[in-house]
Amino acid sequence: MIEFTEQDRKQMAEKGIAKEKVVDQINTFKEGIPFVDLQGAAVVGNGIYRFTDQEEQDLIALYETRVKDLDVLKFVPASGAASRMFKALFAFLDSYKPKDETLKAYLERTGDKDIKLLSEGMENMPFYDKVMNRLPNSFETEGEKVYLFVQELLGENALNYGFYPKGLLPFHKYGENTATPFEEHLKEGALYASSSNTSNLHFTISEQHEEMFKSELEEVGDRVSKDTGISYVVDYSFQKPSTDTIAVDMENKPFRNPDGTVLFRPGGHGALIENLNEQDADIIFIKNIDNVAVMKDAKDVADSKKTLAGVLLKVQKRAFNYAKMLDGVNASQADLGTIKEFLENELNVKFKEGYDKLSDGEKRNLLKSKINRPIRICGMVKNEGEPGGGPFWIKNAKGEISLQIIESAQIDMDNQEQVEILQHSTHFNPVDLVCGIRDYKGDKFDLLNFVDTKQGFITGKTKDGKELKALELPGLWNGAMAHWNTLMVEVPLVTFNPVKTVTDLLKESHQA
C-alpha cells in the first residue's frame, strides 16, 4: 500500500492530478510496460498507399473544391527548447581552448563532426551575419573565430540561442532577412491550411515562452499576411500540469526532492492529446515546429498536405454515410457486409475470428464501435536511415490487430523475430498527420476515449546524483491515437526537413 503524506496530497491537488492516477502510474512502474507484438511492417500495398500523379491531382482537386466550406486548423507542437540542437556546441565551448590548440588538432583529436561541419559551413548558417556583426573584424586563428562565433551564439550575455524555444530561432535566410520556423509555419498555413482567406494555427508552447511567440507574431504577422493575402488567427496552449507523471526510485517508491516533495515530471508529447482534444475543426493538420521547408519547396509540401486531406475527405464521406446507416433502422444484412468490407479494405480494421457467428444486432453494434472513431491520415516517407518511429501492424493484449506508429523503444530487441520485422520496414514516421475529429453529425469525438494507456514509456534518469525511473505518456501519434481509424500514405522526402542538431541547417533543404 502506498502511503501519501498530507503534503503529497496537497501537491497533487495543486497540479490537478487525482491520487488514483498516481497509484496507477506507480503500479505501471511495478508491472512494467510490455513490448509491442509486431505482426509485420506496413509496406506499400499492405498498410501504406502510394498514389499515381493523376490520383494525387484528383485528391488535391477534391480538397481545394471542399476547403472553402470547412473549418481548417494547423496544430503545431512547439514546446521544444533549442538546447538539444546545440548540445555539441556547448560541449565544444567546454573542451576547446583556442590559445592552447589549433582547430585542426582539436578535430583530429576528438573527431568532432558537428564542429567540422560548422567550421566549414558557417557562412551558410542563417544567423552568420548577425553573429559576425557582434564580433571583432579579425581573428588570430581559425580556431579563435569558430570559438568566438559559438560563444556569441550561445553565451548568456550574448545571443543566448541555446535557451530559446526552437520555433523562434533563425532557420532560413532569404536575402537580407531570416525566417524562424514560426514564420515558415504561417506561410505554409496560407498554402494548404486556410479557408475563406483565413488561416487558423494553434501552437503548443512552454508557458515561459508565450511572450516571445506573441512578440514574433507582432513582428512578422502583418508582413506575412500582406505577402500571402491571408489573415491569421493564432493561439497557444501549454502542456497541463495535470499531465505530469510521478517519478519513482529503483524500488518503485515515489522519488522525493531534497525538500521532501514528490518529483513529478512532464509526461512527454503524449500529454498534448489533451491540448488537441480542446480544438475543434473539420480538418486538423499536425506537424512539428522544426519540420519546415524553404519556400522553393513550398508548393511540393503543400500539394502533399492537400493530397492527405483529400484522402481524409474521400474516406470520411463513406464512413459518415455508413455510420448514419448503422444508426437507422433499415441496414440490411447485405449492408452490414458492405460496411464490414469498407472497414477492412479502406480503414485497415481487422476483425477477430467469430464475427460471422454474431447476431445481426451484435454485428451492428460492433460495426458502430469500429466506424465511429476519429480518423488520421499519416504521411510516411521512405526510410533513409533517419531516427524515428515507423508504421507496423501490431497485436494488442486482447488479440486485436491494428495499424500503428511504433517507436524502436517499444520493440523487444532481444527477440530475433521482432527485430527481423523491424528490419523489413520500408518507411518511417515524419509526424505528418491530417486528422478528422468529428462524427457524421458534426459533433467532436472525445479524443481521450481513444488512447491506449499501455503504450507509454519507462525511462531511466538521474536527479541529484540518484537514479530514478520516469514515465512518459503514450506518444501523441503513438498510443494516444492507438484507437483511431488509421490510413497511411507515402509522401515525398521533401516534406521531411527536421532540425535535430544545428548543423542540419546546412542541408540543402534549408538553404534558400
pLDDT tens for residues 443-498?
Answer: 999 999 999 988 998 999 999 899 999 999 999 999 999 999 999 999 999 999 99
Which CATH topology does 6-81+167-493 take?
Spore Coat Polysaccharide Biosynthesis Protein SpsA; Chain A (3.90.550)
Beta bridge pairs of residue 380: 490
For the CA atoms of 292, 295, 299, 304, what is the dihedral angle to 10 degrees? -10
User: Percentage of the chain surpassing pLDDT 70?
Assistant: 99
Band of pLDDT at residue 384, cut at 50, 70 and 90: confident
Q: What is the pLDDT of residue 188?
A: 96
Determine what percent of the chain is predicted with pLDDT higher than 90.
89
Task: Give the pLDDT score at 387.
Answer: 59
* Residue 397: per-residue pLDDT: 86
Secondary structure E strands in 57-197: 72-77, 172-174, 177-179, 194-195
What are 395-446's pLDDT values in tens digits? 998 899 999 999 988 999 999 999 999 988 999 999 999 999 999 999 999 9
Phi/psi at 289 (5° precision): -60, -35
**pLDDT at res. 80:** 82
Residue 81's pLDDT band (cuts 50, 70, 90) = confident
Grade residue 1 by pLDDT with cuts at 50, 70 and 90: low
Neighbours of 463 (CB within 10 A): 14
- In DSSP terms, 195 is beta-bridged to 198
> Residue 381 is inside which H or E element, if any?
strand 375-382
Beta strand extents in 450-497 (DSSP E only): 457-463, 466-472, 485-490
Please tell me the distance from the alpha carbon of residue 225 to that of residue 189, in angstroms, as a whole number.
11
Mean pLDDT value across residues 65-78: 97
Taking residues 243-268, report their average pLDDT. Answer: 93
* pLDDT for the residue numbered 247: 95
**pLDDT value at 97 more than 90:** yes
**Residue 409 has what pLDDT?**
87
Asked whether 198 and 231 are in contact (CB, 8 A), the reply is yes
DSSP run (H or E) holding 153: helix 142-154
pLDDT of residue 512: 86
C-beta of residue 504 within 8 angstroms of C-beta of residue 387: no
Q: What average pLDDT is seen over the chain?
A: 94
Q: Does position 195 have pLDDT exceeding 70, yes or no?
A: yes
User: Residue 123: which pLDDT band, with cuts at 50, 70 and 90?
Assistant: very high
Range(s) of the chain covered by CATH 3.90.550: 6-81+167-493
Q: Do 31 and 469 touch, CB atoms closer than 8 A?
A: no
pTM of the model: 0.95
Residues pairing with 457 in the sheet: 472
pLDDT, position 431? 94
> Residue 6: CB partners within 8 Å, gap ≥ 6?
none
pLDDT of amino acid 386: 64
Residue with cell 530475433: 416
Residue 388 has pLDDT above 70, yes or no: no
Check residue 67 and give its pLDDT. Answer: 97
Look at residue 158 in the predicted model and tell me its pLDDT.
Answer: 93
Q: What is the pLDDT of residue 2?
A: 76
Tell me the three cell numbers of residue 185: 509555419
Is the pLDDT confidence value at 385 over 90?
A: no
Q: What would the pLDDT profile of 350-359 be if each residue is shown by its tens digit?
A: 998 889 999 9
The residue type at 245: T
